[in-house]
């Protein structure tokens, strides 16, 4: 599944980026960012593994919520100058479009 692959790569990139954050943020925003990134890929995986279309849809919606949370936390971190790798927002956009397609597809099937 392309959405899973892109979300998996996004999570890896997020971990690499957050390694450079200030050490005092290790137990603050860094943990929140990493958890949100892992939540995106985990919920896509869990949704794909479900048999019910409604269950799939629910997990994809949760993944989208985590993606929005991740984007917000990274926007704040960028404003605070914790990192400069703005390409990550393009990656988030890619995953967002794929998730939107999955959600739309599931809704049409229900």
Whether pLDDT at 1 is above 90 = no
The whole-number pLDDT of residue 20 equals 95
The whole-number pLDDT of residue 12 equals 98
Whether pLDDT at 25 is above 90 = yes
Mean pLDDT of 84-95: 98
Q: pLDDT band at residue 74, thresholds of 50, 70 and 90?
A: very high
> Which own/partner pairs from 38-46 qualify as long-range (CB within 8 Å, at least 24 positions apart)?
38/11, 39/63, 39/66, 39/69, 40/7, 40/10, 40/11, 40/66, 40/67, 40/70, 40/95, 41/4, 41/7, 41/8, 41/10, 41/11, 44/1, 44/3, 44/4, 44/7, 44/99, 44/102, 45/4
Q: Model's pTM, two decimal places?
A: 0.95
Whether pLDDT at 110 is above 90 = no
């Amino acid at each position: 599944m392309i959405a899973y692959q892109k979300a998996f790569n996004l999570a890896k990139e997020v971990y690499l980026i957050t390694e450079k954050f200030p050490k005092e943020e290790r137990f603050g925003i860094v943990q929140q960012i990493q958890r949100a990134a892992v939540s995106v890929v985990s919920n896509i995986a869990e949704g794909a593994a479900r048999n019910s279309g409604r269950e799939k849809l629910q997990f994809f919606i949760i993944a989208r919520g985590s993606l929005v949370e991740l984007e917000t936390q990274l926007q704040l971190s960028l404003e605070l100058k914790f990192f400069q790798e703005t390409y990550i927002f393009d990656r988030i956009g890619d995953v967002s479009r794929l998730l939107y397609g999955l959600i739309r597809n599931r809704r049409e099937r229900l």
